[in-house]
Amino acid sequence: MSKYLREGIWFCIPIVLAISACGIWFKTIFSPNPYINLSDGVSLSVNIYCFIAAITVILGLIISLISNLYTRFRSIIKATVLLLYTSLLLLIITYIIQLNKMLAPQEGWLIYPPLSALKDKIEVKESYFFCNPIYLFLFQLSLIILAVFTAYRIGSRDFKGDSRIINSPSPT
């Protein structure tokens, strides 16, 4: 089996797993409006293709990271796939950080009695929808460090086996 075919199969495994997981979770991936039931009768409508893409990127990153650690970054193709998945996950986390800011509760909510009527001012506690953005930034920083390490391992490859390039005679 060709190494390109083998890497192509490993590249497609997360896509197949993500589609099957969404098919099991949402009962069908072709439903025009899939939703996730939350507590107290609240349902969340999701875009199924974004959900499949996010699961694919996460699974692909995990699989390619394990594969690269197993082979000690010897394959340039595997390391490039790892860089691709790392870059895509960085983009997804950047979107999650923006979504976290947009969906956070704002200070302008109406409370009865109005807070301005109280003698002692109440400080508004900063709140977030998912989590504090510092944790997402730290996760992004760790992904950037992983990408830099992978790029370093790709660039520091020792090409002793190809003597034509290293010991080629200079043109005279």
Nearest by Cα to 158 from 74, 33, 86, 41: 74
pLDDT in tens, 41-51: 656 666 778 87
Query: How much of the chain exceeds pLDDT 70, in percent?
Result: 66
Q: Would you tell me how many other CB atoms lie within 10 Å of the CB of residue 154?
A: 16
Tell me what pLDDT residue 63 has. 93
Tell me what pLDDT residue 7 has. 86
Taking residues 60-84, report their average pLDDT: 91
pLDDT in tens, 13-26: 998 998 888 777 76
pLDDT in tens, 81-104: 999 999 999 999 988 888 777 777
Sequence ranges of the domains in the chain: 3-117+128-156
Query: How much of the chain exceeds pLDDT 90, in percent?
Result: 26
pLDDT in tens, 91-138: 999 888 887 777 776 655 555 666 666 666 666 667 777 788 889 899
Reduced to 3 states (helix: H, G, I; strand: E, B; else coil), residue 154 is helix
